[in-house]
Structure 1
């Protein structure tokens, strides 16, 4: 039963245009995402690129992802969603989304529909052919953008290889070349790797997410790569601010920094595991609208 696949994103690398707002990790922080839209502007008046990690850890992964899907269905050319390492069946069974769906709906059907959609998300984005957007980072198996476009993305995130690296890798100041990642997936890569990739593909810089930045954004390697983080007060306790990157028609950039919104869910529960998994205690009946939206999206993805 597939519904919105190729409409979700039609290729492994999505092409986007300016002006645009680029957003990092959201992690189920629904009310903070609503604050993000207040800061960046309403869709469809504003173009958006989300760099993945919509779910897990926050209270409201279901609401977060379904709102983004609804916007994608209604305004497919105004919002681009690419895949993060948490858009994965294995990861969501550990870090909250699976349990949230089960608690709120009494079954795992919503989780299954959403994870089917994850498989169709693009792995990267290219803004005006000059800025490369990706969730994690680079891969030693990838030297050109065309190689990314040729990846068969319609699968669960593998444990290694190019697709895994794009979603899991991190830049690191003290690394020259490549090094093993402490995450257990992907790699650490240094400034020389970024310089070679950017020059080979004629891009100005890389925009990625994946790592908490207390100030909301962070440049590295002489402004050749920037991390954007869009979940303020991450896990409802980190105290960080968040940011989105605004690019105008001339690719001039402005970082919009914002703080956490009031949370209607109350205080965060205590950790349920060493990773600080945060789950909602609310339980809802699934609506025909919600299930229909997911099924419609899967259908369009497959047959568009």
Structure 2
């Protein structure tokens, strides 16, 4: 998650390296809540256009017109004097974004989490695009689901949609599909990354000093080597919020 923290995104590119010298897979939630969502999404889309082989952008649950109306992105566009047609163009763009990716054939990446409706990875390729985010089903779960220490699948009460899933769900998913790791975002974690299910799943969060509740959380980028060894680069906020 970047959530409109433009200077922290610049810090990532400065510390880790910018395309085309580094290849990036972003996991969604580029806009809303932060003060410079416009700069964040414009820069990321420009990098995608300029370096299509080095930059990929997955969709997050906040790449949605409904959430953009309620969590700040559309208000930001309005304050800056942009017309409603620009908001519509962003919505059209978000509706075309992919929902998942597999790195090196072994690391499954998405914004939210797993789904009880996901039986084959080919199902994701067949999901219709462009499309709004539905309130249930595979697309919804890939954007909204969360890992939790429960047995199996339980309703995701805190989100109001989708599921929470337990460690054995992750282990079964990895074993069934011949994968090593699930890499997802969607939740703030104090150190910027947090493992789950005996290191079968990792949550990443790249917006440091994100909110009043998490005023000192780190942001993290996960680096994946050619042999799929993973390491983490952590950083603090570029500017401290008052």
TM-score for the superposition, normalised by structure 2 = 0.96
Aligned to 2:146: 170
Identify the structure with bigger relative contact order (alpha carbons < 8 Å, sequence gap 6+). 1
Given the alignment, which residue of 178, 181, 195 partners 1:219?
A: 195
What does the per-residue CA deviation read over 1:146-193, in whole Å, with 9 as the maximum and x for residues that have no partner? 1111111311101111100110000002x1100011210110000111
Separation in 2, partners of 1:185, 1:75? 35
Aligned to 1:93: 69
Aligned to 2:2: 26
Unaligned runs of 5+ in 2: none
1:231, distance to aligned residue in structure 2 (A): 0.2
Separation in 2, partners of 1:213, 1:184? 21
Aligned to 1:188: 164
The answer on 1:244 being equivalent to 2:209 is no
Aligned to 2:114: 138
Larger mean Cα displacement after TM superposition, 106-115 or 91-100: 106-115
Given the alignment, which residue of 168, 176, 179 partners 1:200?
A: 176
Unaligned runs of 5+ in 1: 1-24, 269-304
Q: How does 1:102-181 map to 2 (within 5 A)?
A: 102-173=78-149, 175-181=150-156
Separation in 1, partners of 2:127, 2:85? 28
Separation in 1, partners of 2:215, 2:138? 31
- When the two chains are superposed, the root-mean-square deviation of aligned CA atoms in Å is 1.2
What does the per-residue CA deviation read over 1:61-85, in whole Å, with 9 as the maximum and x for residues that have no partner? 0110000000001001100000000
Aligned to 1:287: none
Aligned to 2:230: 253
1:238, distance to aligned residue in structure 2 (A): 2.0
| Contact 1:58-1:235 at 8 Å conserved across structures | no
1:135, distance to aligned residue in structure 2 (A): 0.2
Separation in 2, partners of 1:116, 1:46? 28
Given the alignment, which residue of 2, 17, 22 partners 1:41?
A: 17
1:115, distance to aligned residue in structure 2 (A): 1.1
| Contact 1:144-1:197 at 8 Å conserved across structures | no
Separation in 1, partners of 2:68, 2:111? 16
Look up the SS of the partner of 2:143 in the other structure: helix
What does the per-residue CA deviation read over 1:13-71, in whole Å, with 9 as the maximum and x for residues that have no partner? xxxxxxxxxxxx00000001001111211111100000000000000001100000000
Separation in 2, partners of 1:126, 1:107? 37
